[in-house]
Amino acid sequence: MSLRLGDTAPNFKAQTTQGEIDFYEYLGNSWGVFFSHPADFTPICTTELGRTAQLADEFAKRNAKIIAISVDPLDSHQKWVQDINEVGQTQVNYPIIADPDRKIATLYDMIHPNASETHTVRNVFIIDPDKKIRLILVYPPSIGRNFYEILRALDALQLTTQYPVSTPVDWKEGEDVVIAPSLPDEEARKRFPKGFRVVKPYLRFTPQPNK
């Protein structure tokens, strides 16, 4: 199954390091960050899961729930978490899904045979409260992800869902954003009382509207 932006994220039930979950029930009305790992006791994954635990409060501030998956069994996950906590000097407080039969990895198209026939690639899915997939990142197994970039993308998604704006190159929280070209100037003045500057007729910058 090939998932695309705007698709409904498939639901599933799974065993995790925090007990059995129903994916939709776990997410509730929150945003979701669902990310995959090629295998347990691998060096890059250990650092990634630790960083995610360190950033748990940042995800919580954004009303986002974290959930990870690896194709190894639950008893392996439980032992691995001890290493993650030690290496990252943190506490993993989010569920890691056990997927030894690769059903969920297959459901989310996380196994790319030309990269590896058995291990998942490093996928990230950001899912909105309506269970729609809003962002997909795909990294090869050898490259660690930047979770600050995932937070930045989550900020941008939440902002652009609420306002008719887009975020320009290298945008960070608190910086100016771009008004949607479809919004006429007159309407833009009403929607953005802080004003805007025109670089091109189709490129208008305004201060971040929720700041």
What CATH number did the domain enclosing 177 receive? 3.30.1020.10
User: Quick check: is 2 in a domain?
Assistant: no
**Burial classification of residue 142, based on how many CB atoms lie within 10 Å of its CB (0-12 exposed, 13-18 middle, 19 or more buried):** exposed
Catalytic residues: 45
Q: Are 205 and 197 in contact (CB under 8 A)?
A: yes
Q: Give the pLDDT score at 171.
A: 98
Q: Give the pLDDT score at 141.
A: 77
Residues 69 and 140 in one domain: yes
Q: Give the pLDDT score at 113.
A: 57
Residue segments in the chain with a per-residue pLDDT below the cut of 50? 117
Write the DSSP assignment of 27-47 as a string of letters: HTTSEEEEEEES-TT-HHHHH
Tell me how far CA of residue 164 lies from CA of 111, 113, 182, 201, 206, in angstroms.
36, 39, 9, 16, 11
pLDDT digits (tens, 9 = 90+) for 170-191: 999 999 999 999 999 999 999 9
Q: Give the pLDDT score at 112.
A: 65
For 158-172, what is the HEC assignment?
HHHHHCCEECCCCCC
Residues spanned by the domain of 185? 163-206
Residue 152, helix vs strand vs coil: helix
Residue 194 structure tokens = 């802080």
Residue 122, helix vs strand vs coil: strand
Instruction: Give the integer Cα–Cα distance in Å for 128 and 126.
Output: 7
User: Quick check: is 6 in a domain?
Assistant: no
Structural domain count, the chain: 2
Q: Give the pLDDT score at 85.
A: 97
Q: Give the pLDDT score at 115.
A: 53
User: Quick check: is 63 in a domain?
Assistant: yes
